[in-house]
């Protein structure tokens, strides 16, 4: 009895405790018996590579996902949110990457939204307003409560959202990559807000890829890797970026692929000085038969490079593909022999409402028509051929793409590109959300294509992926290619992580 | 029930989706037949072959407009300008054909031969289609707003040319020929036959050609279709021009039939064309639907209004009945969509 009470008292000091938390997906254990504590009134950082399980944990904390097993407790009391609404009522607020403020209303109206006091259906003034105004003034006095939200900057809108969470009684606020869209000055301001929050009895869970921010802001850090908890410790005890990176990466990444270095084929793609709203003077070349990778964190500009080459976005600079001038539209790019597997499979690559058969020929649809009349029988043959060739697991070519698993959907998207007879493939996050088996099949396919003389560009935020398949890797940060490395046994992973998290590329 | 059983049932339900498009079309066709039979029981003398013919022939204009409107809806775009274009092209054809020496302003025109007057009127219709295309494609204004604007613009020009009424004098004798030409020695007029040919052609284009495929792709997922090398902009321009030509032809044929250019002709036809498309199962969000469905949608609307008005109820009820049809269409629509997305 005495022991239990002592335990309960100790637990009460913890804003949040997580015990043996596990989340299984079919075939994947996204979070694996994770336990850690978050001290009250601290900024607690959560770090890990993509796929480490951070966002799954956040989703369980906010009630968006239910754990497979394990428990959570807030201030020692069991916490089992059934929905995001539940989480909010238990005092867990979240600052999402997409903002949920109403532009047309004033700051004050936004802060009291959903909590308005009313009498006979008419809104009445209440002390609620005084309270939220005080909260806002305490964390960011420069925002006028009467200002219309549409007149605020993104950073200010974020702060309004934080104030809303704080004034609705949140004791824990989760922030997932809050600085992704902010300028340096705005980041400083946000940090000020976060520190003031911490001093006013709020615990902040802070998730970011930018390690400098972690060191500047955090009190404690929890490192995740492959769904497992690696360590939780005060940042003061972490020996700088190298140790944090080492914990994040852990074991050396295993390759089953022998990188070939730069392939001495004819250069097929030459890019010089590519610039747009995000890219800054990006230059590189790709040779025939070569697999090159673009590695960087979300927002580093990888997708923008792919889309610019493909003619999907406007950009300044020179793009020379096989001596032709740049494509002004995806249509021209395909005609020139470039095909793109887009980042968002379900919304950009696939027609989920159509069958496999209808999806495959889309990028080269006229090949299946004579005089504009579509040859259904030819289409069926083509679909069967590609389903067999890529090993798409389906009982029928008439199956809706929507019903396929992630890996099979991606194979359909790849089939589209192959049917387009492309000489160069741009693959943006080619194995995101794809299970392990399909992943290695997709890698085999990519290698085959390269061996047959096609040039392949892989844009990925998974280091394991680029080191597992690419010959050369361009490291991107902040819209620029910071360094180029030849893949091989001697790659220096801490150095790579240092470069892509903004640590500069000196001592290459 | 176990999770697996639920999942199994869910998958089985989804397998039925294979024939969704055919399913909806058959449903609409079945509803049209059922309504006709119901009307035959309730209304004396309704069950006659001539009545079936009338349901189609009386609605050739709206059905023809429905073809262009359906194609645009499938591509994810509205065209509310077709009614206005019907008025404008009819008025233009008459105005261009009227002799130049009339006694007053409303009886003097440009003195063109009939064929040239009609051709120029068609160009006028295409100009409205061009305005639609420019605003929707190049300036990316929502199509419902653009075509609401051109609807008023087209009718407005027609009203200026007719000074708010109509032009019907001083026309060449052959002006009324096309619209009144009887075919196959029967009472069926040329425009009706033209409509039938257009419907069959449209069904072929929709089912069998690359052009038809692209229309569905753009409506189903415009982002993916662009990234897959489809020139969305060019295709939508073609669709707006096609729809405007259809409306132009209808307007000219109606002007020929009545030997007049009337600025109020085709009023509310754009809404009728939209209603029959929706009744026929075309998805308002694009990517789904068929011209055959639209045709049966028109039959449903015609059966309801013709059976009820003048026979059971006074003609004053016509709008109320149409409203009812619209509500049913919208509910059937969301039911079909729910089936597609949750099934």
- A430: domain CATH number is 3.40.50.300
Burial (CB < 10 A; 0-12, 13-18, 19+), residue A370, is exposed
Cα–Cα distance for residue pair B227/B209, rounded to 1 Å: 21
Tell whether A326 and A189 lie within a shared domain: no
Q: Hey, are the CB atoms on B228 and A330 less than 8 Å from each other?
A: yes
Please give the pLDDT value at position A253: 47
Sheet with A282-287, side-by-side order of all strands: A282-287, A267-275, A316-321
DSSP B169: S
Q: How far is A94 from chain B (nearest CA, A)?
A: 29
Q: Is A10 near chain B, with CB under 8 Å?
A: no
Tell whether A163 and A275 lie within a shared domain: no
Q: Three-class SS of residue B263?
A: coil
Tell whether A244 and A290 lie within a shared domain: no
- For every residue of B73-99, DSSP letters joined together read HHTT-----HHHHHHHHHHHHHHHHS-
Q: Hey, are the CB atoms on A362 and B340 less than 8 Å from each other?
A: no
Closest by Cβ to A363, choosing from B211, B229, B287: B229
Cα–Cα distance for residue pair A474/A478, rounded to 1 Å: 13
Q: Three-class SS of residue B330?
A: helix
Tell whether A277 and A244 lie within a shared domain: no
**CB distance A53 to A227 below 8 Å:** yes
Nearest by Cα to B112 from B56, B159, B170: B170
Q: Is residue A255 part of a domain?
A: no
Q: How far is A355 from chain B (nearest CA, A)?
A: 8
Cα–Cα distance for residue pair A169/A220, rounded to 1 Å: 23
Q: Three-class SS of residue B202?
A: helix
Burial (CB < 10 A; 0-12, 13-18, 19+), residue A405, is middle
Name the pLDDT band for A294 (thresholds 50, 70, 90).
Answer: very high
Q: Can you tell me the ipTM of this complex? A: 0.83
Choosing from A218, A249, A280, the residue where a domain stops is A249
- The percent of residues above 90 in pLDDT, for chain A, comes to 32
Cα–Cα distance for residue pair A316/A301, rounded to 1 Å: 15
Tell whether A106 and A182 lie within a shared domain: yes
- Report the 10 Å Cβ neighbour count for A252: 10
Note the helical H segments in chain B: 3-15, 20-42, 49-57, 60-74, 82-97, 114-133, 143-161, 177-180, 190-208, 210-220, 222-227, 232-258, 269-279, 291-308, 318-342
Half-sphere exposure of B297 (CA within 13 A, CB side): 33
Residue owning tokens 């007719």:
B162
Q: What is the pTM of this model?
A: 0.76
Half-sphere exposure of A318 (CA within 13 A, CB side): 11
Closest by Cβ to A372, choosing from B209, B226, B229: B209
pLDDT in tens, B237-264: 999 999 999 999 999 999 999 999 999 9
Element (H, E) at A135: helix A127-139
Tell whether A324 and A224 lie within a shared domain: no
Choosing from A249, A282, A301, the residue where a domain stops is A249
- CA A507, A455, A304, A469: dihedral to nearest 10 degrees? -60
pLDDT in tens, A191-230: 888 898 888 888 999 988 778 888 889 999 999 888 889 9
DSSP A147: S
| For residues B217-235, average pLDDT | 94
DSSP-assigned beta bridge partners for residue A223 = A47, A231
pLDDT in tens, A225-245: 888 899 899 998 888 777 888
Please give the pLDDT value at position A346: 85
Q: Is residue A457 part of a domain?
A: yes
Q: Is residue A73 part of a domain?
A: yes
Identify residues of B whose CB sits under 8 angstroms from chain A CBs: 11, 14, 17-18, 208-214, 217, 220-221, 223-231, 287-288, 340
DSSP-assigned beta bridge partners for residue A71 = A19
Tell whether A368 and A422 lie within a shared domain: yes
Tell whether A236 and A115 lie within a shared domain: yes
Q: Is A336 near chain B, with CB under 8 Å?
A: no
Residues of A in contact with B221 (CB under 8 A): 347, 351-353
Q: Three-class SS of residue A82?
A: coil
Half-sphere exposure of A196 (CA within 13 A, CB side): 17
Cα–Cα distance for residue pair A177/A193, rounded to 1 Å: 15
Domains of chain B, first to last: 22-338 (1.10.3470)
Structure tokens at B236: 């939508």
Name the pLDDT band for B64 (thresholds 50, 70, 90).
Answer: very high
Nearest by Cα to A260 from A449, A470, A475, A91: A470
Residues of B in contact with A362 (CB under 8 A): 217, 225, 228-230
Between the alpha carbon of residue A387 and those of residues A349, A375, A384, A390, the distances in Å are 17, 18, 5, 6
Q: Is residue A61 part of a domain?
A: yes
Q: How far is A348 from chain B (nearest CA, A)?
A: 4
Q: Is residue A428 part of a domain?
A: yes
Q: Is A333 near chain B, with CB under 8 Å?
A: yes
Q: Is residue A16 part of a domain?
A: yes
- Report the 10 Å Cβ neighbour count for A114: 7
Cα–Cα distance for residue pair B281/A86, rounded to 1 Å: 40
- For every residue of B210-231, DSSP letters joined together read HHHHHHHHHHH-HHHHHHTT--
Name the pLDDT band for B13 (thresholds 50, 70, 90).
Answer: very low
Tally of structural domains, chain A: 2
- For every residue of A234-261, DSSP letters joined together read EGGGS-HHHHHHHHHH-SPPP-SS----
Name the pLDDT band for A507 (thresholds 50, 70, 90).
Answer: very low
Q: Hey, are the CB atoms on B231 and A331 less than 8 Å from each other?
A: yes
Residues in chain A: 508
**CB distance A293 to A472 below 8 Å:** yes
- Which of A75-84, A181-190, B203-212, B293-302 bottoms out in mean pLDDT, i.e. has the lowest? A181-190
Please give the pLDDT value at position A8: 47
- Mark residue B195 as left, alpha or beta (left: phi above 0; alpha: psi -120 to 50; beta: remaining): alpha
pLDDT in tens, B72-104: 999 999 999 999 999 999 999 999 999 888 888
Cα Rg of chain B, angstroms: 22
Name the pLDDT band for A258 (thresholds 50, 70, 90).
Answer: low
Residues of A in contact with B209 (CB under 8 A): 369, 372-374
Cα Rg of chain A, angstroms: 26
Tell whether A154 and A235 lie within a shared domain: yes
Nearest by Cα to B114 from B194, B182, B180, B173: B173
Closest by Cβ to B227, choosing from A342, A364, A403: A342
Highest mean pLDDT range out of A139-143, A150-154, A358-362, A365-369? A358-362
Note the helical H segments in A310-363: 330-336, 356-359
Residues of A in contact with B229 (CB under 8 A): 330-331, 333-335, 362-364, 420
CA-nearest residue of chain A to B288?
Answer: A353
pLDDT in tens, A431-478: 887 776 778 889 989 999 999 989 999 999 888 788 888 989 999 988
Cα–Cα distance for residue pair B267/B37, rounded to 1 Å: 30
Tell whether A197 and A323 lie within a shared domain: no
Q: Is A369 near chain B, with CB under 8 Å?
A: yes
Cα–Cα distance for residue pair B224/B26, rounded to 1 Å: 30
- For every residue of A249-295, DSSP letters joined together read H-SPPP-SS----S--S-EEEEEEEEESSS--SEEEEEETT-EEEEE
Tell whether A223 and A284 lie within a shared domain: no
CB pairs under 8 A between A and B: 75
Cα–Cα distance for residue pair B277/B289, rounded to 1 Å: 8
Name A394's Cβ contacts closer than 8 Å, sequence gap at least 6: A356, A387, A404, A408
Q: Is residue A1 part of a domain?
A: no
Q: Hey, are the CB atoms on B288 and A353 less than 8 Å from each other?
A: yes
**CB distance A17 to A11 below 8 Å:** yes
| For residues A65-91, average pLDDT | 88
pLDDT in tens, A8-53: 444 457 889 999 999 987 767 889 899 999 998 899 999 887 668 8
Tell whether A302 and A411 lie within a shared domain: yes
**What is the residue range of A467's domain?**
267-500
3-state secondary structure A437-503: HHHHHHHHHHHHHHHCCCEEEEEECCHHHHHHHCCEEEEEECCEEEEEEECCCCCCHHHHHHHHCCC
Choosing from A198, A218, A249, the residue where a domain stops is A249
Q: Is residue A262 part of a domain?
A: no
Q: Is A351 near chain B, with CB under 8 Å?
A: yes
Nearest by Cα to A402 from B230, B76, B216, B11: B11
């Amino acid at each position: 009895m005495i022991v239990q009470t002592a335990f309960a008292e100790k637990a009460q000091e913890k804003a949040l405790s997580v015990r043996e938390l596990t989340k299984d997906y079919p075939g994947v254990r996204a979070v694996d018996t994770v336990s850690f504590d978050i001290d009250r009134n601290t900024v607690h950082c959560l770090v890990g590579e993509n796929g480490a399980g951070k966002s799954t944990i956040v989703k369980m904390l906010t009630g968006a996902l239910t754990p497979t097993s394990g428990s959570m407790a807030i201030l020692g009391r069991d916490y089992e949110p059934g929905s995001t609404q539940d989480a909010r009522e238990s005092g867990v607020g979240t600052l999402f990457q997409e903002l949920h403020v109403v532009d047309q209303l004033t700051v004050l109206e936004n802060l009291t939204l959903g909590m308005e006091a009313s009498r006979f259906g008419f809104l009445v003034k209440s002390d609620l307003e005084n309270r939220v105004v005080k909260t806002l003034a305490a964390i960011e006095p420069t925002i006028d409560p009467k200002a219309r939200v549409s007149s605020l900057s993104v950073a200010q809108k974020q702060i309004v959202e934080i104030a809303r969470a704080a004034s609705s009684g949140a004791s824990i606020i989760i922030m997932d990559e809050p600085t992704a869209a902010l300028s340096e000055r705005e980041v400083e301001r946000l940090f000020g807000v976060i520190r003031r929050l911490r001093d006013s009895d709020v615990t902040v869970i802070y998730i970011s890829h930018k390690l400098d921010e972690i060191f500047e802001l955090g009190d404690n850090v929890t490192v995740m890797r492959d769904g497992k908890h690696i360590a939780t410790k005060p940042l003061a005890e972490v020996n700088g970026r190298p140790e944090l990176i080492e914990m994040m990466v852990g074991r050396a990444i295993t390759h089953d692929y022998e990188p070939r270095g730069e392939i001495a084929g004819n250069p097929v793609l030459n890019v010089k000085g590519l610039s747009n709203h995000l890219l800054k003077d990006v230059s590189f070349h790709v040779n025939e038969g070569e697999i090159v990778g673009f590695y960087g964190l979300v927002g580093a500009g990888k997708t923008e490079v792919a889309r610019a080459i493909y003619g999907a976005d406007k950009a300044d600079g020179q793009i020379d593909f096989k001596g032709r001038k740049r494509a002004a539209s995806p249509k021209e790019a395909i005609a020139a022999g470039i095909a793109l597997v887009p980042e968002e499979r379900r919304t950009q690559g696939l027609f989920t409402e159509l069958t496999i058969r209808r999806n495959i020929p889309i990028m080269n649809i006229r090949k299946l028509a004579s005089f504009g009349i579509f040859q259904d029988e030819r289409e069926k043959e083509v679909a069967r051929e590609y389903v067999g060739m890529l090993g798409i697991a389906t009982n029928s070519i008439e199956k809706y793409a929507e019903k396929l698993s992630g890996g099979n959907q991606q194979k359909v998207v790849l089939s589209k590109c192959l049917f387009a007879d492309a000489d160069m493939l741009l693959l943006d996050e080619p194995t995101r959300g794809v299970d392990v088996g399909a992943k290695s099949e997709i890698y085999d396919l990519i290698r085959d294509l390269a061996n047959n003389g096609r040039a392949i560009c892989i844009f990925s935020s998974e280091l394991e992926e680029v080191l597992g398949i690419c010959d050369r890797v361009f490291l991107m940060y902040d819209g620029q290619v910071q360094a180029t490395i030849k893949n091989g046994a001697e790659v220096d992973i801490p150095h790579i992580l240092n470069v892509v998290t903004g640590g500069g590329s000196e001592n290459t | 029930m176990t999770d697996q059983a639920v999942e199994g049932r869910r998958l089985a339900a989804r397998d039925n989706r294979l024939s969704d498009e055919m399913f909806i079309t058959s449903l609409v066709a079945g509803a049209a037949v059922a309504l006709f039979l119901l009307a035959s029981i309730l209304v004396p003398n309704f069950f006659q072959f001539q009545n079936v013919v009338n349901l189609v022939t009386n609605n050739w204009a709206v059905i023809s407009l429905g073809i262009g409107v359906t194609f645009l809806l499938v591509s994810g775009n509205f065209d509310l300008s077709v009614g206005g274009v019907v008025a404008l092209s009819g008025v233009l054809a008459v105005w261009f054909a009227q002799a130049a020496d009339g006694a007053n302003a409303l009886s003097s025109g440009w003195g063109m031969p009939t064929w040239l007057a009609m051709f120029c009127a068609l160009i006028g219709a295409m100009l409205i289609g061009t305005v639609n295309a420019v605003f929707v494609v190049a300036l990316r204004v929502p199509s419902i707003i653009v075509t609401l604007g051109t609807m008023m613009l087209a009718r407005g020009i027609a009203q200026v040319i007719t000074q708010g009424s109509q032009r019907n004098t001083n026309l060449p004798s052959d002006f009324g020929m096309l619209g009144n030409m009887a075919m196959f020695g029967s009472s069926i007029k040329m425009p009706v036959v033209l409509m039938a040919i257009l419907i069959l052609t449209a069904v072929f284009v929709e089912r069998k050609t690359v052009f038809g495929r692209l229309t569905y792709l753009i409506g189903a997922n415009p982002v993916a279709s662009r990234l897959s090398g489809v020139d969305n902009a060019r295709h939508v321009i073609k669709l707006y021009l096609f729809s405007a030509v259809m409306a132009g032809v209808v307007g000219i044929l109606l002007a020929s039939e009545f030997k007049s250019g009337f600025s109020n002709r085709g009023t509310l036809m754009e809404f009728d064309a939209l209603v029959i498309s929706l009744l026929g199962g075309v998805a308002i969000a694009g990517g789904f639907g068929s011209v055959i469905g639209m045709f049966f949608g028109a039959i449903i609307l015609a059966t309801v209004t013709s059976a009820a008005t003048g026979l059971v109820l006074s003609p004053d009820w016509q709008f109320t009945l149409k409203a009812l049809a619209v509500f049913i269409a919208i509910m059937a629509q969301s039911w079909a969509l729910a089936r597609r997305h949750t099934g």
